[in-house]
Structure 1
């Protein structure tokens, strides 16, 4: 196949670009576009030779896009209008303006791209934005496939369920596997976080977890198709443990809702842009001291009446945050990926939380372009 010309919209820190490289497909990113200053610094640091446009998408005229002559569009539009924790304002949210602009321009391009891959959060599949997207694609002559995929499907111990749409021009329908339009909500590529009654007893039920939640975690940790957390950790000598330990105040206030994993676990929860600043639902924390049993600690915490005594028990676990490098590892970024030295840790967590899983996208791109 000839070298594909790729337009990377909402390029962020380059997750799509890394996925493209991972496929081994001959491709050239002719332009990457994003307005996030920090993300652009990181992108430029890792891809210094790629043209990077720090511009609003809706400010780019049709003629300028036509001049790029691209074969592929990769994009991950803003997810805030669709996330379950947001206001879910959908196409009335100003942050969808650029995406709607893309849909308006697509039929008017002098040459339609042969392939399109879009990523977004769970919730997009039932949005009006998604409806506008599939109507535009159908009108332009694309066939498409929609899936919901989590990194656990490719053996990575991290839950990050995301919506993906892969589209190709119907003139390419002679390929081995053509995509068919679907009026039904997309389904997962493979089962994720399934529960069965055949799981062994979860043992001591501590913290605020329900029996169902504990069973789910036990089930995940028994899935041998998923690698262990320890495969994604930095060498201990490279990590300043003190810098990443969960603060005392956080331990006392939120210990009962922390999602705690160990190096031998085969699961972790989705890392978000609030990791390290907020607690609930922002990502897992790692138990560093394996000589102490977590169940024993929480049993004793339950019996302590004084905060000082509770804290002493909790400190035995040496709970710490994953480092930004470790989060990047769990999100499939290669060893060659790095942050410019001037980017603060909080900003590193934030841009990673806004990014995507490279291995998942690479698998889907391989299916889209090479099938």
Structure 2
């Protein structure tokens, strides 16, 4: 097949480009567009031969789009208008304007793209913006399928539930379609190219030998009924975490961690330990789960992502149960025994599916939180994008 000419919108640090590259589908990204200067520096470092446009999408005219002569669009529009904890401004949020501009431009292109792949947060599927998207692509003659997918379904120990839409022109039938449904798992296909499934299963998502994992350190696997509530968690939450850690189809976090680096800068400060002790989502290298990392990771604690317990010989329950009636200094001393730290930007990138040689250019920035922000905020999970592209594009 002729190489696809791909337009990458909201390109971030290049997650979709990386997934496309690893799919081995013949393709050229003819232009990547993003306004974030820091993300663009990382993108340019890793994809030096791609035309990178540091401009707003709303400022690109129909004529400029036509000149790019693309036949595939990859895009991950701003998610803030649709997030559960946000204002859910939807079409009234100014950050939606760029996507609305694309939907206005799409029917007027000289030549429609063959393929569209869009990613956003859970919540987009019930938005008015989504309804306008569907109306637009249907009027243009596309078939489409919507998904809500998490990388945990691919054996990746990170919960990052996201909305995906894939669309093809009618002349390119989808190998799977459930009209009106948002699928919550990857389609099970009988591919005409079984070697393609082998690539997906073996090359990209390589499963290392998985050993049985124990939920607690006391040598026995606990159920929710046996669990001890030592933090602000319910029995149901603890039981869910135990089930996740017992899922042998998911890799352990240790497979994604960095070795032999100075971790001192990543340890949680004493004030954070004291203030947020009961709210932290704490995981160990042997766990098979972590919560979604957000752009506030490294700056804020609550709800921004898991932290890693690096002192594996210390039982977390014993530490928490001993905090009662202690002074603040004594509590800090006890909590410090756990050696809790943030995941590094590189480790988060590993969980998102970026390869080991992907450069994050740490030396470019004075603040580590900037690296956290661009990695957590700008890119979807590459593992998920990779599988969708492989099943989406015939080759």
TM-score scaled to structure 2, two decimals?
Answer: 0.88
Q: Which position in structure 2 is the counterpart of 1:161?
A: 161
Deviation sequence 1:207-238 (CA, Å, 0-9, x none): 11100100110010011110000000001x22
Q: Secondary structure at the match of 1:317?
A: coil
Give 2:390's match in structure 1, choosing from 333, 344, 366.
Answer: 366
- Would you say the 8 A contact 2:224–2:236 is kept in 1? no
State the 1:132 CA deviation. Answer: 0.2
Q: Provide the rounded CA distance (Å) in 2 between the counterparts of 1:233 and 1:353.
A: 16
Q: Which position in structure 1 is the counterpart of 2:236?
A: 212
Q: Which position in structure 2 is the counterpart of 1:246?
A: 268
Whether 1:170 and 2:191 are equivalent positions in the alignment is: no
Q: Which position in structure 2 is the counterpart of 1:332?
A: 353
Q: Provide the rounded CA distance (Å) in 2 between the counterparts of 1:357 and 1:365.
A: 13
Q: Which position in structure 1 is the counterpart of 2:114?
A: 114
Q: Provide the rounded CA distance (Å) in 2 between the counterparts of 1:7 and 1:58.
A: 15
Q: Provide the rounded CA distance (Å) in 2 between the counterparts of 1:242 and 1:304.
A: 29
Q: Provide the rounded CA distance (Å) in 2 between the counterparts of 1:120 and 1:248.
A: 35
After superposition, the Cα gap between the structure-2 partners of 1:32 and 1:342, relative to the gap in structure 1 and judged at 3 Å, is: same
Q: Provide the rounded CA distance (Å) in 1 between the counterparts of 2:11 and 2:142.
A: 23
- Would you say the 8 A contact 1:202–1:215 is kept in 2? no
Q: Which position in structure 2 is the counterpart of 1:274?
A: 296
Q: Which position in structure 2 is the counterpart of 1:300?
A: 322
Q: Provide the rounded CA distance (Å) in 1 between the counterparts of 2:346 and 2:244.
A: 23
- Would you say the 8 A contact 2:227–2:238 is kept in 1? no
State the 1:181 CA deviation. Answer: 3.9
State the 1:202 CA deviation. Answer: 4.7
Deviation sequence 1:173-221 (CA, Å, 0-9, x none): 2x6x154542x4x24116xxxxxxx956452221111001001100100
- Would you say the 8 A contact 2:152–2:158 is kept in 1? yes
Q: Secondary structure at the match of 1:81?
A: helix
Q: Provide the rounded CA distance (Å) in 2 between the counterparts of 1:370 and 1:251.
A: 51
Q: Which position in structure 1 is the counterpart of 2:279?
A: 257
Deviation sequence 1:250-294 (CA, Å, 0-9, x none): 000001000000000000000000001111110000001011100
State the 1:22 CA deviation. Answer: 1.4
Alignment coverage as a number of residue pairs: 358
- Would you say the 8 A contact 1:144–1:165 is kept in 2? yes
Whether 1:28 and 2:28 are equivalent positions in the alignment is: yes
Deviation sequence 1:121-171 (CA, Å, 0-9, x none): 011000000000000010000000000001101110000000000000011
Where does 1:1-371 land on structure 2 (aligned, <5 Å)? Answer: 1-173=1-173, 177-179=175-177, 181-182=179-180, 184=181, 186-189=182-185, 199=223, 201-235=225-259, 237-238=260-261, 240-301=262-323, 303-340=324-361, 341-343=363-365, 344-354=367-377, 355-370=379-394
Q: Secondary structure at the match of 2:171?
A: helix
Structure 1: gaps spanning 5 or more residues: 191-197
TM-score scaled to structure 1, two decimals?
Answer: 0.94
Q: Provide the rounded CA distance (Å) in 2 between the counterparts of 1:330 and 1:296.
A: 30
